[in-house]
Amino acid sequence: MNVGQMLSKYLIAAVLLVTICLGALVFYEWQGGQTAQPLELSFENISHKAYGRYNNHEYLVIENSEEWERIWSLAMREWSLPEIDFSTHTVIAVFMGGQSSGGHWISIERITNVENEIIIVNVKEIYPGRMMVTMALTYPRHIIKIERVQKPIVFEVRQFKAHAHDKNLNPYDEIMYELVGEHHVEAGSGPPGP
């Protein structure tokens, strides 16, 4: 074999090796850019109201009958306890606590399974801003159930003030929501007010 043929073989091998390495690098970069999309979980409403009796501003994950009975009796003494099979379901309850007027609201917006490691419960809280409200005690709550999961559950809470009027008391055509706080909250605790 002459020197020209040997150089030709080595050149072909080098080009092939570089092509394989570049292909692997491109594939690796493409995979790295493809982040897993959070999987949205479905849930069933149990109670979503502004009236009740639960006085604490809390975010709860309820996984057994005893805790469920305790929370339900504190929140809604006069209504019968919904039956939950805790071997297959988990209850998530968010409460704003006692408020001195209407215009307060709390809502579980969505629940996502992020990278199959953690469950995030997105909560929206609304406080009255420049608007007329009823002068009644309210206890906003949202209680739902989901299929039982064996992952940590955390709450991402976004707080808004609702305005029906601008700063000069001119009415808006529709309610305007001003973001006043965002919190990452562990179960069993609550963020400060807006």
Angstrom distance (rounded) from CA 162 to CA 175: 6
pLDDT in the model for residue 52: 83
Pick the closest to residue 143 from 44, 41, 51, 42 (CA basis): 44
Task: Report the half-sphere exposure of 92 (CA within 13 A, side-chain side).
Answer: 28
156-192 tens-digit pLDDT: 999 999 999 888 888 889 999 898 988 888 887 766 6
Q: pLDDT tens digits for 69-80?
A: 999 988 876 678
Structure tokens given for 9: 């073989």
For residue 103, pLDDT beyond 90: yes
- For residue range 114-157, what is the model confidence (pLDDT) as tens digits? 887 899 999 999 999 999 898 889 999 999 999 998 899 999 99
Contacts of 139 (CB under 8 A, 6+ apart): 50, 51, 52, 53, 54, 55, 75, 95, 96, 97, 98, 99
For the stretch 2-58, pLDDT in tens is 656 655 665 565 555 556 655 655 555 555 555 567 789 999 999 999 888 888 899
